Chain A
Amino acid sequence: MTAGDTPVVEARGIVKIFGQHRALDGVDFAVRAGEVHALLGENGAGKSTLIKILTGAYQPDGGEVLLNGAPVRFSDPLQAQGQGIGTVYQEVNLLPNRSVAENLFLGHQPTRFGIVQRKVIAAQARELLATYGLEIDVKAELGSYSVAVQQIVAIARAVELSGKVLVLDEPTASLDRNEVAKLFEVIGRLKARGLAIIFITHFLDQVFAVADRVTILRNGQLIGTRDLSALTATEVVRMMLGKDLAYDQRTLGVAESVQGPVRVEFRGIGRAGRVAPFTLSLHEGEVVGVAGLLGSGRTEMARLMFGVDASDGGEVTVGGRSVTIRNPQQAVAAGFGFCPEDRKLDGIFGELSVRENIIIALQAKLGWFRALNRDEQNEVAGRYAEDLDIRAANHDMPVKLLSGGNQQKVILARWLAIDPSFLILDEPTRGIDVGAHAEIVRTINRLREEGLALLVISSELDEVVAYSNRVVVMRDREMVAELRGEEITPAVIVSAIAENTGAKA
């Protein structure tokens, strides 16, 4: 950085620790006036933690935040806002029940003898929004306008109250193409006014369209800050996913392993706005890996397969027989199992014991009238706990006390207990330590050898490459590539993900 180019806001060596987990480890980040700075990273990379530290929602455990070169410490977002850092979130944090004008000036309304000057506020609001190219009835409820308009009102409020740094946290997630263009126009104007803008998004093309520089985080580490003019989309994806293209070897000749007949086939399954219709068949004794960036439609695909969301059309066959899957119960009846992405939220019953967590799917499948007695429960739980090497002091302890890796294995055991023919694993190795990582991968390989069909979604390309017979690549909510055999290398996957994303690929 050249002299005279002092950043408006700067983070130096930020460390943030949650329990045992280092969410941020010595991260540096700096934004200059008059630039749009994109912050990229997969889930768990530390983007939101870093933003929360910059905006005062969290306090760092190490390092410092500097505003205009002077160290600052914010105790809450209000204080950060008061000193110049305003934030606009994806879910607009304004009041839909109040007028646009009131939303702009709440807490700062001009008053005379304690009476709010409504005409003054309305006039000021109109004037302010006009500078953003927006002409609306400022006395109407905010909730009567589209998200895009609410977004711009939120930006106007943040800039009005803060005025130095504007943080946009996934502002485009629920906007259509036209609205994104309008938003980018507004961002352009603010940039010209000399604001420092931090832009967080999952859409690479938007990064290339609007940002000047990019900072990429992975697993709480700073990967780098670059000028976007000197980068290609492929390089960005590689930095995000951490793939060194030199590292290219396939493990253990997975692709050559034995495969049986087609177990499950999905034909034309999709849902408008979530995932474009896709067709995919899985063989017995086969692992299909799913790669793609966050928000590419990976999880949505799994949810459709398991009937959590109903498909708009298409057909599912299991073992050559057509089945209807409109809800998870039907999926379980068809012999499907699903380990969801967010273990704590959608997977485990934290208060229940290991034993209860393992038998719950089996019991649900059997129905109310064939209750498993205690001995049967112990037998089932014991068998799978031993099989998967679940380490718990005893099987009656609450599952929330177990480590992440063991919790994951409990969920696996739950589905194995119903003797499934097709298992969907969404990010099975997220948030668990390295040792448990390897064990989960070993388990996946073993289940394959036992003849299961598996669909495994993962952001860890090394892993996907290590256990997949085939890899499908998702991009923009669409299945864009199917790789097999020799094609399954991190380099090929990365370029399949990055293809056509930016102006330059």
Chain B
Amino acid sequence: MNRALRPLIATTLIFALAYVAAVLQYPSMLSTRVLGNFLTDNAFLGIAAVGMTFVIISGGIDLSVGAVIGFTTVLIATLIMWAGLHPFAAFAVALGVAALFGAVMGAAIHYLKVPSFIVTLAGMFLARGGASVLSPDSIGIKHEVYTAISRSYILLPGGGRLTVIGLVMLAVFAVGIILAHRTRFGSYVYALGGSETSAALMGVPVARTTVLVYTLSATLAGLAGIVFSLYTSAGYSLSALGVELDAIAAVVIGGTLLTGGYGFIAGTFIGVMLQGLVQTYIVFDGTLSSWWTKIVIGGLLFLFILLQRLVFSASSPKGKVFWKT
């Protein structure tokens, strides 16, 4: 068995066990209603986490994700409410700006040989600051498109609602899985995370791949911003504070190695859902402070980093070799 699969299997097991335990305590948690809310409430986090998974597999990190989400919500709100743009036009502009922002960060990381941590930290301050300059106050978005989107959903058996933004997240995961595992671009991303020197010698377009990875991450953060603005019907410069860290946690809990080279998009999905489960449990309980979410996530994160250490530092199993002479 591929040893990289082990953390993913562990995550899946933990999620299943935690869900069963929660359902035993609160039977009403086993409903499509709760599941639908899982998807809706975590849509923006899930979308951003897909981009983060690509970045981390490539051996980098993107700290600007939360700030880009915040900036995008403000940009969309100002474009719609102040400039009178149609929401879809505003979405297109926002995605374009986010993509360009990511491309510039990727180029800086590759060509200036600055660690991604530093470049995206600068990106974080820029985006967050830019959002505050656009508007320091929250801007409510009122538009018939927003009302229409928030009213439309697919009714699941049992009364659950699969909302548009939940669907967007599922689609992003589906495309992400194909992109990572079934395209040349995906194999280049894993190659970068494995060894940049080897990748370059093997003909991987290192510059293009690096730029594209950060472009992808920022674009998905932009999409997460759009989803967030649909979710809250507002644009606020301080929204989605610290979401990049939640996304990193989801990626790592999902079995992706922080040092790059190994990981699964599907694992990130479970990582996001696990965070959602903890939050939902706390809501059901009603007596616990919401900060318990952070404590549980912190504990899980620590557990998984330990687990990865064990799996990857143990001498790898030797493959069987048959020599024909």
- Residues of A that sit less than 8 Å from B by CB: 77-78, 81, 93-98, 102-103, 106-107, 109, 111, 114-116, 118, 130, 133-137, 140-141, 143-146, 149, 157, 182, 185
Contact = CB atoms under 8 A, between A and B. Distances in A.
A145 B12 CA distance: 28
Contacts of B186: 116
Given A115-B178, A134-B322, 18 more contacts: A93-B198, A95-B198, A102-B187, A106-B204, A107-B204, A111-B183, A114-B183, A116-B183, A116-B184, A116-B187, A130-B324, A133-B324, A136-B322, A140-B319, A141-B3, A143-B316, A182-B323, A185-B325
Contact of A93 (B184, B190, B201): B201
Contacts of A81: 203
Contacts of B190: 95, 97-98
Contact of A107 (B202, B318, B321): B202
Given A106-B187, A109-B187, A144-B316, A95 B194 contact: yes
A135 B191 contact: no
A78 B321 contact: no
A145 B322 CA distance: 12
A94 B190 CA distance: 12
A102 B183 CA distance: 12
Contacts of B262: 97
A153 B219 CA distance: 37
A403 B316 CA distance: 47
A116 B191 contact: no
A78 B203 contact: yes
B175 to A, nearest CB: 12
Contacts of B203: 78, 81, 106-107
Interface pairs A-B: 9 shortest CB-CB: A135-B322, A97-B261, A95-B194, A97-B194, A144-B319, A133-B324, A93-B198, A107-B203, A140-B319
Chain A CB within 10 Å, residue with most, of B188, B197, B316, B319: B319
Nearest to A178: B323
B320 interface: yes
Contact of A115 (B182, B198, B325): B182
A396 to B, nearest CB: 32
B14 to A, nearest CB: 24
Nearest to A139: B2
Question: Binding site of A, secondary structure by majority: helix, strand, loop or mixed?
Answer: mixed
Interface of B: 2-4, 178, 182-184, 186-188, 190-191, 193-195, 197-199, 201-204, 261-262, 316-325
A93 B202 contact: yes
Contact of B187 (A96, A98, A143, A145): A98
Contacts of B193: 97
A134 B323 CA distance: 5
B199 A134 contact: no
A106 B321 contact: no
B222 to A, nearest CB: 23
B182 A116 contact: yes
Contacts of A185: 325
24 contacts: A93-B197, A94-B202, A95-B190, A95-B199, A96-B194, A97-B4, A97-B262, A98-B187, A98-B191, A103-B202, A106-B204, A107-B203, A107-B204, A111-B184, A115-B183, A116-B183, A116-B186, A116-B187, A130-B324, A135-B324, A136-B322, A141-B319, A144-B317, A145-B318
Contacts of B318: 144-146
A105 B114 CA distance: 30
B319 A145 contact: yes
A236 B186 CA distance: 50
Contacts of B324: 130, 133-135
A133 B325 contact: yes
A141 B321 contact: no
A182 B321 CA distance: 12
A136 B320 CA distance: 6
B193 to A, nearest CB: 7
A103 B203 CA distance: 11
B182 A95 contact: no
A432 B261 CA distance: 43
Nearest to B322: A135
A458 B49 CA distance: 57
Contacts of A182: 323
A174 to B, nearest CB: 15
A137 B194 contact: no
Given A98-B187, A115-B182, A134 B321 contact: yes
B321 A95 contact: no
Nearest to B179: A114
Contacts of B197: 93
Contacts of A140: 2, 319
Nearest to B1: A140
Contacts of B3: 141
Most chain B beta-carbon contacts within 10 A, residue among A96, A102, A136, A141: A141
A436 B320 CA distance: 55
Contacts of B317: 144
Contacts of A103: 202
Nearest to A81: B203
Name the residue among B182, B183, B321, B324 with the largest chain A CB count within 10 angstroms: B321
Contacts of B188: 106-107
A4 B188 CA distance: 43
A107 B201 contact: no
A141 B184 contact: no
Given A95-B191, A95-B198, A137 B319 contact: yes
Name the residue in B178, B187, B318 with the highest tally of chain A Cβ atoms < 10 Å from its Cβ: B187
B294 to A, nearest CB: 32
Contacts of A96: 194-195
A111 B179 CA distance: 13
